[in-house]
């Protein structure tokens, strides 16, 4: 059942419309990472050089989330979604025309990153204003699984398209889906208020103004440490995902198309991992940060196993360990970016904390997407995997210290 409240059946087309437009936008964000190794082969540019393109998206997407989040609260969110989808579609369709210039591709992909950042903040505002309770939770899960399916579709379709034609047509395919998503949302956006009107809470008369609580000074160190953990998670999640096809192609001499196809395991496992982490957190953990510490521990163990059984374990072990590492990072994302900010509701800083942590995540992704390319060229893939272990270890140490410090903060503050 899509919505638990039968009186709110009008929410169905709204939820489907949001999912379709975000499905298309997500395809236009992850597609380049799926085909980066093929671009390396086709253009002759080095991995470290082409990684600048992926970095440009991470930076503008991370910073854009903060800016667009503030703007989305002041304008009609429907319009921001439309223009974000439109710009991203144009970039994807024109990107192949500039494949001979790394600078041009980087600029275009940076524009795409900012356009992508125009999607999620307004979508969240619409969800918050039009769904509540179980409907709200279901809407989030529904759209999240839409992104997982989008990733799987891109990683399944890309090898086939590359085999039949060229990597450039992967972007054209995604741009075509973008046209569908943008057009459908453009036709519907003016009707959103009548589909699911926003619920407004009237202010009670003569109600005394409550003094806003401030974040206690003792919380700043744990916050910094959590931000460090989020940065480590961004490094591993996006870095490993982006360069897994290159890893498999270079270490096990798999064809680029086969390596890309294998990466679909990461996307499927990420959706499963979030579901499992949610169940584990609810049953065994009371602290989001301590749960993140435990997840980092699993990721560090997987990295260590991959390091010691680098070639002896074969491609299957490598794929499973990388799937476990990235799945764990999606679990950390669920804990530190979805649950942890709720602790700041009483301080009135939920949006600020969420935006800041999101920026840290994508800064980490930008740093290590480039870092993996450089490290794999300079020291080889085995020692690059060793760096993965160090980053996971740094994340678990940061989360453990943050957890011990956070426990010392009085509940009433």
> In this structure, is residue 405 part of a structural domain?
yes
pLDDT of res. 264 = 74
Structure confidence by residue, pLDDT tens digits, 216-238: 777 788 889 999 999 999 988 88
> In this structure, is residue 42 part of a structural domain?
yes
Per-residue pLDDT band at 151 (split at 50, 70, 90): confident
pLDDT of res. 257 = 66
Statement to judge: residues 43 and 157 lie in one domain: yes
Statement to judge: residues 229 and 292 lie in one domain: yes
Structure confidence by residue, pLDDT tens digits, 86-125: 999 999 999 999 988 889 999 999 999 999 988 877 887 7
Q: Span 118-141, mean pLDDT?
A: 73
Could you write out the three-class secondary structure of the chain?
Answer: CCCCCHHHCCHHHHHHHHHHHHHHHHHHHHHHHHHHHHHHHHHCCCHHHHHHHHHHHHHHHHHHHHHHHHHHCCCCHHHHHHHHHHHHHHHHHHHHHHCCCHHHHHHHHHHHHHHHCCCHHHHHHHHHHHCCCHHHHHHHHHHHHHHHHHHHHHHHHHHHHHHHCCCHHHHHHHHHHHHHHHHHHHHHHHHHHHHCCCCCCCCCCCCCCCCCCCCCHHHHHHHHHHHHHHHHHHHHHHHHHHHHHHHHHHHCCCCHHHHHHHCHHHHHHHHHHHHHHHHHHHHHCCCHHHHHHHHHHHHHHHHHHHHHCCCCCHHHHHHHHHHHHHHHHHHHHHHHHHHHHHHHHHHCCHHHHHHHHHHHHHHHHHHHHHHHHHHHHHCCHHHHHHHHHHHHHHHHHHHHHHHHHHCCCCCCC
pLDDT of res. 137 = 60
Statement to judge: residues 259 and 407 lie in one domain: yes
pLDDT of res. 113 = 93
Between residues 26 and 147, which one has the greater pLDDT? 26
How many Å apart are CA 322 and CA 326, to the nearest integer? 6
Structure confidence by residue, pLDDT tens digits, 189-219: 776 654 333 344 444 555 554 555 677 777 7
pLDDT of res. 207 = 52
Structure confidence by residue, pLDDT tens digits, 286-342: 788 999 999 999 999 999 998 888 766 677 888 888 888 988 998 898 888 777 777
> In this structure, is residue 205 part of a structural domain?
no
Between residues 50 and 176, which one has the greater pLDDT? 176
> In this structure, is residue 243 part of a structural domain?
yes
Boundary (domain end) residue, out of 148, 164, 197:
197
Statement to judge: residues 261 and 321 lie in one domain: yes
Q: How high does pLDDT run on average in the chain?
A: 80
Statement to judge: residues 365 and 231 lie in one domain: yes
Statement to judge: residues 404 and 376 lie in one domain: yes
Structure confidence by residue, pLDDT tens digits, 226-278: 999 999 999 888 888 777 777 777 777 777 666 666 667 777 787 788 778 87
> In this structure, is residue 7 part of a structural domain?
no
Per-residue pLDDT band at 152 (split at 50, 70, 90): confident
CATH number of the domain where residue 309 is located: 1.20.1250.20
Q: Span 344-365, mean pLDDT?
A: 73
Instruction: Find out whether 181 and 20 touch, Cβ atoms under 8 Å.
Output: yes
| Residue 292, both tokens | 């993140």
Per-residue pLDDT band at 390 (split at 50, 70, 90): very high
pLDDT of res. 230 = 93
Statement to judge: residues 256 and 357 lie in one domain: yes
Statement to judge: residues 23 and 114 lie in one domain: yes
Statement to judge: residues 136 and 99 lie in one domain: yes
> In this structure, is residue 119 part of a structural domain?
yes
**Structural domain that includes position 278:** 216-413
Statement to judge: residues 244 and 174 lie in one domain: no
Between residues 412 and 123, which one has the greater pLDDT? 123
pLDDT of res. 196 = 39
Per-residue pLDDT band at 170 (split at 50, 70, 90): very high
How many Å apart are CA 314 and CA 320, to the nearest integer? 10
Structure confidence by residue, pLDDT tens digits, 59-93: 898 888 878 877 776 777 888 899 999 999 999 99
Between residues 355 and 66, which one has the greater pLDDT? 66
Between residues 412 and 101, which one has the greater pLDDT? 101
- Burial (Cβ within 10 Å: 0-12, 13-18, ≥19) of residue 353: buried
Statement to judge: residues 225 and 331 lie in one domain: yes
Between residues 133 and 85, which one has the greater pLDDT? 85
Q: Span 29-41, mean pLDDT?
A: 85
Domain count, the chain: 2
pLDDT of res. 357 = 83
Per-residue pLDDT band at 186 (split at 50, 70, 90): confident
Statement to judge: residues 99 and 187 lie in one domain: yes
Q: By mean pLDDT, which of 194-208, 358-372, 375-389 is the weakest?
A: 194-208
Between residues 402 and 335, which one has the greater pLDDT? 402
pLDDT of res. 5 = 47
> In this structure, is residue 412 part of a structural domain?
yes
> In this structure, is residue 127 part of a structural domain?
yes
């Amino acid at each position: 059942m899509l919505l638990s409240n039968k009186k709110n059946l009008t929410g169905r087309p709204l939820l489907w419309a949001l999912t379709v437009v975000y499905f298309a936008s997500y395809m236009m964000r992850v597609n380049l990472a799926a085909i980066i190794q093929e671009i390396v082969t086709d253009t002759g540019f080095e991995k470290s050089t082409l990684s600048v393109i992926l970095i440009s998206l991470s930076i503008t997407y991370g910073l854009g989330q903060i800016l667009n989040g503030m703007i989305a609260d002041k304008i009609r969110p429907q319009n921001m979604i439309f223009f974000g989808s439109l710009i991203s579609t144009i970039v994807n369709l024109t990107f192949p025309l500039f494949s001979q210039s790394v600078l041009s591709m980087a600029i275009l992909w940076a524009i795409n990153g900012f356009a992508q950042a125009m999607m999620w903040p307004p979508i969240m505002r619409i969800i918050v204003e039009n769904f509540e309770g179980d409907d709200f939770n279901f809407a989030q899960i529904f759209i999240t699984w839409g992104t997982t399916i989008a990733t799987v579709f891109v990683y399944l379709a890309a090898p086939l398209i590359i085999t039949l034609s060229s990597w450039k047509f992967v972007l054209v395919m995604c741009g075509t889906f973008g046209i569908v998503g943008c057009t459908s949302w453009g036709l519907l956006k003016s009707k959103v208020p009548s589909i699911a009107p926003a619920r407004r809470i009237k202010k009670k008369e003569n109600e005394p103004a409550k003094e806003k609580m401030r974040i206690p000074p003792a919380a700043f160190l744990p916050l910094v440490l959590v931000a460090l953990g989020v940065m480590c998670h961004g490094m591993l999640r996006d870095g490993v995902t982006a360069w897994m096809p290159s890893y498999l192609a270079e270490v096990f001499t798999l064809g680029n198309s086969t390596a890309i196809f294998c990466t679909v395991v990461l996307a499927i496992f990420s959706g499963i991992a979030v579901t499992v982490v949610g169940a584990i957190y609810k049953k065994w953990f009371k602290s989001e940060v301590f749960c993140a510490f435990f997840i980092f521990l699993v990721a560090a163990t997987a990295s260590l196993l991959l390091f010691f059984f680098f070639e002896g374990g074969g491609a299957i072990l490598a794929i499973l360990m990388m799937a476990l590492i990235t799945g764990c990072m999606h679990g950390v994302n669920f804990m530190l970016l979805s649950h942890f900010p709720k602790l700041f509701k009483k301080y009135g800083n939920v949006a600020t904390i969420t935006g800041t942590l999101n920026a840290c995540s994508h800064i980490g992704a930008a740093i290590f997407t480039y870092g993996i390319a450089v490290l794999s060229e300079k020291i080889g893939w085995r020692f690059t995997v060793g760096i993965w272990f160090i980053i996971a270890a740094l994340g678990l140490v940061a989360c453990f210290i943050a957890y011990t410090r956070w426990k010392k903060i009085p509940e009433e503050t």
